[in-house]
Each structure stands twice: as structure tokens, then as C-alpha cells.
Structure 1
Amino acid sequence: MTELSTPGPMMEMLLGTLIMIVIIFVHGVGIRMINLHFSRTWAHMHANTPNWRLNVLLALTIGSLAVLHFSETFLWAMPLSFGGLIPSMRDSYFYVLENYTTLGEGNVSLPDQWRLLGPIISMSGLFTFGWTGSVLVSVMTDFGHLDKLRAKGSEAIDPLEQRDAR
């Protein structure tokens, strides 16, 4: 336990990197599941699909991505809290959210011997938010193609075919 209570920088970076890899793996699995659901649902959309159905699909996709990020930050907060680095789970989660979003201006901090974890948490947030951003660009591109079809009045072309042609 003494080794973990006063780790060297290499041990700190190793543990932080291992947790970051787990977080990014979880993000990848989550993104695949969200994208699969979106694609399956999108396959049933056409030029006559009511706007409310499209809006519900968009809201569910965005909500799912948000839940994924909240889950990932919770996974970061657990070892900080249960390891005693930050006393309460609420403060631990607050600390992780601030670092994961790279805001980093809170009054909660890690002990000095664990302070390298903050930037590693930020790195995982940068990776996952970038990945999420690319998914949202893809989703909005599909919506843009459908909007173009609607503007042209063409109902003969399936939006899924437009997506697969790219």
C-alpha cells in the first residue's frame, strides 16, 4: 500500500494510462453501439418521414452520447474516490468532470504525488470528445443529405443509399 500511497511518476503515469485505455475502449464500444442503432433506424427513414421522428432520432443519439461520456467520467471517478485520493465520490466526480472537459478550474485537487492523473484525464476527454464530434458530423451529414432530397422533392432516392455511396 505504501507504494501506491507515494507512487513515483512512472507508476502514476502507468496507472493513469491504463485507466485511459479502458476509458477509450469503453468509448469505442459505446460509439459502435450508438452508431449501429442510428444506422438501423436511419435505414427506415425516407423523404416522407415526419420531422418529429427525425428529431427524436437526433435527440436519442445526442442523449446516448452524453450518457456515454457521463459513464466514462464515472469510471474515472471511482478509482479516485475508492482509492482515497479524493474523499467523497461527489468531489471525485466533480474533479474528473473538470479535467475531462479540460476546464480544470475547480477547488478539488489530487494529492501532489498523484497530480499527473489530471492531465491524463484531460487527454482521455480530448480523445473521446474528438471521436464524439466526428460521429455527430457524420450524423448531421446524413440529415443534410435528407434535407437536400426533400428540398429537391425527390422521394425516389433512399437516404441510406446516399450514405452508402459516400
Structure 2
Amino acid sequence: MLEEFSKPGPVMEIAVGTLLLIVIIFVHGAGIRTISQRFNKSWAHMSGTTPHWRLNLLLACTIAALAALHFAETFLWAVPVSATGLIPSMRDSYYYVLESYTTLGEGNINLPDRWRLIGPIIGMSGLFTFGWTGSVLVSIMTEFGRLDRLRATEEKNAGSSVHPWDT
């Protein structure tokens, strides 16, 4: 078995990479769900009178949590890459994974030829998870837009004697 790991065929490379890809996407899903739940609980306490700094702080904390999630996912890729000796240094492993995950791919650190299919699979996981994160940010910004429209309507109505329920 150890011999098969040191000299894998493409099927084994793809199988190992796909297994890790599934783990990463599962972790991302669980993380996104947790971050979304926390955002929604905090958002439920926001209103048209909530100070802008509190809204901005909530947005910043949510973005920080999403970034931390991506760093954790790339760490989950880097650990087996380093532990198996494919790239012996943890720092170099993490650098390689970050470049693959972000699909930058410009690095001077490479996997051994017999494991080079893992790089594009790491890139696939980044594409999936960044796309998912982007959709969450669109949803969050939609909520901010609704609140901005509510505030604009309240400001407009405050300047007139007509109340929203009278129209």
C-alpha cells in the first residue's frame, strides 16, 4: 500500500484529490451555514435607526469570518500535502495550496510529477468555495440594500406630512 502511495496512478491521484475536495466543500458548507446563521441573528436586531458603524462592523465581522473559513480550508489541504512529504515544509505546502486554491498558479513550488493532478483539484475546490462565498456576499449586500431603501423612505417621509401607511 505504501508503494502505491509513493507511485500512484492517475486514478489514485484523482480519488485522493476528490476525497479531499469533498471534505473541503463539506467544511465550507458547514462554515457558511454557521456564518449565515450568526449574520441573520445579528441582522434581526438591526433597524432603520441602527447606527451605520454597527452595520459596518457586522459586515466587517462577516467578511472576516468568511476569510478565516477559506484560510482554514487551505490549511486542511496543506496538512496532508506536508505530512505525506509531497512538499516537506509546511510553509511551502501552504504557499503551494494558496496559489492553487486561488487559481493563481504562478509559484515556484510544485508537487512531485506523480501527484501533480492534486493541484488542479485544489483549484477546483477554490472555485467552488469562492463561488459559494460570493453568492453569500450577494445575499448579505441585498439585505443592506433593503435597509438602505427603508432608511431612504423613512427620511423622505419624515420631510413630509404623509406617512407610509397613508399612501
TM value normalised by structure 1: 0.92
Segments of 5+ residues of structure 1 without an aligned counterpart are: 155-166
The correspondence of residues 155-166 of structure 1 with structure 2, limited to 5 A, is none
CA RMSD, Structure 1 to Structure 2 (Å):
0.6
CA distance in 1, matches of 2:115, 2:148: 50
Structure 2: which 5+ residue stretches go unaligned? 156-167
Task: Please give the secondary structure, in 2, of the residue aligned with 1:74.
Answer: helix
Structure 1 runs (4+) deviating above 2 angstroms are none
Match of 2:106 in 1: 105
Number of residue pairs matched by the alignment: 154
**TM-superposed deviation, 1:153:** 1.1
Give, in whole Å, the separation in 2 of the partners of 1:82 and 1:37.
34
Alpha-carbon distance between aligned partners in 2 of 1:42 and 1:6, rounded to the nearest angstrom: 52
Residue 48 of structure 2 aligns with an amino acid whose one-letter code is: A
What is the CA deviation profile of residues 77-136 of structure 1, one whole-angstrom value per residue up to 9, with x for unaligned ones?
000000000010000000000000000000000000000000000000000000000000
CA distance in 2 between counterparts of 1:136 and 1:123 reads 20
Q: Residue 163 of structure 1 corresponds to which residue in structure 2?
A: none
Give the corresponding residue for 2:91: 90
Share of identical aligned residues, percent? 70
- 1:73 positional shift: 0.1
| 2:44 is equivalent to residue 34 of structure 1 | no
Q: 1:2-45 CA distances to partner (integer Å, 9 max, x unpaired)?
A: 11000000000000000000000000000000000000000000
**Could you tell me which residue of structure 2 aligns to residue 161 of structure 1?**
none
